[in-house]
Each structure stands twice: as structure tokens, then as C-alpha cells.
Structure 1
């Protein structure tokens, strides 16, 4: 056991005041005098808000992401192209590609998928899709344009995709089926 010397008793001190002192409110007599024409010493502060700085869409909307901060666009374009073709044939539900497509692309793909799904149930045939090649072009730091060659059933088809880096993922912003 170690022996410690008796220490001084604890002193409790008030916490330091970190806010400026308030402006005292007028008393009843001062309020009556103010009613008679005297001005009040209190002036309400205004918030420093700049509404012209940026719009809500710029602050809270989708944010651009550079290509080097995203997965390999070649592999990603091959996977999403196969998924989009399967949705358009009615083999895959459209909700599986919703996160990876713009609203315009999603509407087109989902509409084609619902038509193909109705046709497929009547014929009972399903398509098999396989990606052969992917060619890339990067016109901007957050944009990749891909042309995908794939085998769709017994046909060779081409798909052109415009991928944009948004919110740390690739999003299909344009789609052309050939």
C-alpha cells in the first residue's frame, strides 16, 4: 500500500459564462414610458442566411463522383447491360435495376419488361443473354460511355450506355438498344 499525503479539499467553482449577457427587458414602468413614445433598447438579431448561395438540389441532390473513386466501369457496364436486357425480356423484375438507372431509363426499361413479360407468359420461352465485349470512352471525369456487344438468344445485339458517377455509384443515364 502506498501512502498518500492528505490533499486539499475540492473547491466547487461556477462554470464560466460562455454566452454574452442578455439585454434586460423593460420593467412595467419602462414599458408604460415606451408606450408614450420612447424606443426600446432591445434590437432582435437576424440570422445570417444566404438564400442565393446554392439551391436545395445542389446541396441535397445527387453529387458527382469521379471515375477513379468508383468500381471498374468495364465490368460494371457488362453486368448492368446484362441485367437491363434481362429486365427488358421480362426475366428479371425492374426493381432490381432501379437504383442503378435514371428515372427516364428506368421507365423505358420497365415498360419494355412488362410487355415482354406478358408475351413470355403466353409463349413460355425465356431468353439467355451473354456479354461478348465492352468498349469504353471517358468524355469527362465522372462520365463513361460504353458500347456492349452481347448475344441475345440467337442474335448478336449492341447496347450503348452512358454511365455517370453519382453518389459513389455508376448510374445509367442514357440507353440505346440496337
Structure 2
């Protein structure tokens, strides 16, 4: 005996509770926000990159970035910062520099692959080194959130 496939969750008597739960949960999930309703992305990405560099050098606590980044980005930055601290702990006591690094951020270069998403590159210039930073900002719940971050 074969039964006809269900067309919607409401047709499945065993799955009605799940359908009600799913409809309510989507209201409380992260909501996409259009670019016009979000603050200036230039200032946001400069501030985030500046603070992320400080975290990666062990000068700032990674928890300060948690509000502005997704969990995946936050955990990656935190792990990289902890690895840097472990690396510095292997040096002799006189060889460690615990001061904030001197660096300058370039003007961000931005592109928008779709509404509510901005991809940014920023050049980080140290005294004797230049590095590149890439971020992906997405408008979520009325604010920018960093969904991808990397420093090369």
C-alpha cells in the first residue's frame, strides 16, 4: 500500500506542530536589513579593522568584537589572538613587546555584490610591513555584522 506524498506540512497530521513552530521561529531569527537603513559602512569597517588588529596583537580583548561579528568570525579572531599570545609566551621576557602596534589604515575600497551586503578591503601599514584586510559586511537586524574577515 503506497500513500500519496504530502504537499505541505499542514497535510501531514504528525507534522502539524513542527509547521507551527517553524513559522513562529522565523520571526525571531536574524532579519536582513537593506543598505539604506544601515549606518555608514566606511566608519564601521575602519573601526572594526582597527580593533581586530589590536585584538590580534593581544592589546584588546576579543570579546569587544563579539557584538559586531558573527560567531564564526569572532571565534576565528579569538583563536588567532590566543595563538599570538602563546607564541609571545615562548620568547624570553625581555623580547616581548606588549605595547599597541603602530599602524595606519588606508581608505576602504568597497563593492556591493547585492543589496545589504558590502565587501571591503583595507590596507594596514605598519612601520616596516604592509598587510591587506578583507571584510564582508551584511546588514542583519538593523546593523552591520562582519560575516567574513581576514588579514593577509
2:34 corresponds to which residue?
Answer: 66
2:45 corresponds to which residue?
Answer: 77
1:54 corresponds to which residue?
Answer: 23
Aligned: 1:145 with 2:119 = yes
1:97 corresponds to which residue?
Answer: 65
Question: For residues 22 and 73 of structure 2, what CA distance do their matches in structure 1 show?
Answer: 31
CA contact (8 A) 1:143 1:162 kept: yes
TM-score, normalising length: structure 1: 0.66
Looking at CA atoms only, which structure, 1 or 2, has the larger radius of gyration?
A: 1
TM-score, normalising length: structure 2: 0.76
User: Which structure has greater helix proportion?
Assistant: 2
2:4 corresponds to which residue?
Answer: none
Question: For residues 94 and 53 of structure 1, what CA distance do their matches in structure 2 show?
Answer: 34
2:108 corresponds to which residue?
Answer: 134
Secondary structure of the structure 2 residue equivalent to 1:51: helix
Question: For residues 109 and 74 of structure 1, what CA distance do their matches in structure 2 show?
Answer: 21
CA RMSD of superposed structures (Å):
2.0
Q: CA deviation at 1:120?
A: 4.0
Where relative contact order (Cα < 8 A, 6+ residues apart) is larger, the structure is: 2
Secondary structure of the structure 2 residue equivalent to 1:92: coil
Secondary structure of the structure 2 residue equivalent to 1:174: strand
How many residues are matched?
129
Q: CA deviation at 1:55?
A: 5.4
> Unaligned stretches of 5+ in structure 1?
1-48
1:175 corresponds to which residue?
Answer: 149
Question: For residues 80 and 110 of structure 1, what CA distance do their matches in structure 2 show?
Answer: 14
Question: For residues 145 and 74 of structure 1, what CA distance do their matches in structure 2 show?
Answer: 11
> Unaligned stretches of 5+ in structure 2?
1-16
